[in-house]
A and B are shown apart, each in its own frame.
Chain A
Amino acid sequence: MTNHDPDLQADLQPDLQRARIDAELAALGEDPADDEEFTFVASDPSMHDDVHEADVRTADVRTVATLVGLSRWDPPADGLSALERHRVWRRVEARIPALPTIVAEPGPAAANDAASSGWRGVVASLALVASVTLVLHVPVAPPLSPEDRDDLRSAGELARAQLQGAAAPSDRARELAQRYEARLRAARGAE
């Protein structure tokens, strides 16, 4: 739309400008611009600012050139690894720093990275769930209910009751020593 000679831009009159626009649209098979559209185009400062228009045109040309270059790029038959794709896109990004929005478009590498990152997240989540499950399966005795605690206390009392009346350890030791001595004497007497 702005591919006319910038040197002549200042000299163009509104009628001539409109006629040229209509001619361009007709060449593209489009209907002529109505008044509202023409007013909008005429009010666009980029149509009248030579410096800005030059920047815009340069950016447009570089954008188109980059896209054409990318479209003609033949990937290797074996494909690229995730790391190689990442490097390619980093190189492209470095070459056209003025067009970050184009480079930022999610290409195959970015998509793959995002996908693998997503999978990594899923795997990490599963691992976390598995580890929690394993931890929960470690044999741990459940806490005793009040009834169980009463039973445990009763078992202790029953065990102690069975020992009631048994000789104390000190008496037992003395008794064992005396019996042992008697046996020793008996054995010596028999010799």
Chain B
Amino acid sequence: MIRPMSRLMSRVAKGRRTLVVWALGLAACDPSTGGGNASPRAVERGGPDDTLRTHIIEPSTPTDEGLVYLRAIADVHERADALAGEARVDALRAGLGVPVPAGLAEAEILRLDLAARLGEELMQAPRGAAAARELLGPMLAVERSLPLDRATARALIVLGDAAVRTGDDALAAGSYARSIEVMSLLSQELRQELEP
């Protein structure tokens, strides 16, 4: 089940994001714009867009098909660990091609982890950074709502690294800022759960 991020979390996130982007010194985040979005003027100028929409992944009702998928992805990782180079890239790419059973919310996290790992592997090759951007860019687009999970933070870091290597500093700054925000939100969420 997917649960949207709470309003309180959004407010906390907005403050953190503003701080991060300000610290980057790349975009003037206008507090009056609200809504958790980067300053439109900064984005218009080609500055970083740190817009983040998240949802929480709740455990889905377990099924046999779901278990088969989860095991298959775990096997893909295991196989990839034993491979290197092009073979590892092929194995991870094949993992992304495994069909996702309907209703398996956890698959979104697993696919992001797979994509992040594949992106890291792609960047080992010459001109692989562009390929990594092509892979991760659409999955992590600012228009999309992303799972509030470490997998999202990891994938955003890989996208940021790929952006740095391809000379897109704005995308890099925006991706790093969004990654930091995801981890901050997770931390807040954990604290809330631990509170009596």
Contact = CB atoms under 8 A, between A and B. Distances in A.
Interface of A: 139-141, 144, 147-149, 151-152, 154-156, 158-160, 162-163, 166-167, 169-170, 172-174, 176-177, 180-181, 183-184, 187
Nearest to B79: A170
A158 B150 contact: no
B176 A176 contact: no
Contact of A152 (B26, B80, B184): B26
A162 B47 CA distance: 24
Interface majority SS (helix, strand, loop, mixed), chain B: helix
A154 B173 CA distance: 10
Contact of B62 (A140, A148, A154, A184): A184
Query: For chain B, which range describes its interface: under 10, 10 to 19, 20 to 34, or 35 or more residues?
Result: 35 or more
Contacts of B180: 155, 158-159, 162
B67 A152 contact: no
Contacts of B172: 152, 156
| Residue of A174, A176, A184, A187 ringed by the most chain B CB atoms within 10 A | A176
A108 to B, nearest CB: 52
Interface in B149-164: 150-151, 153-154, 156-157, 160-161, 164
A171 to B, nearest CB: 8
Given A148-B26, A163-B154, A155 B176 contact: yes
Main SS of the interface on chain A? helix
Contacts of B173: 152, 155
25 contacts: A141-B169, A147-B25, A148-B25, A152-B24, A156-B160, A159-B156, A159-B179, A159-B180, A159-B183, A160-B157, A162-B180, A162-B184, A169-B113, A169-B151, A169-B154, A172-B109, A172-B113, A173-B70, A173-B110, A176-B74, A176-B110, A180-B59, A180-B106, A184-B64, A184-B66
Interface in B140-154: 150-151, 153-154
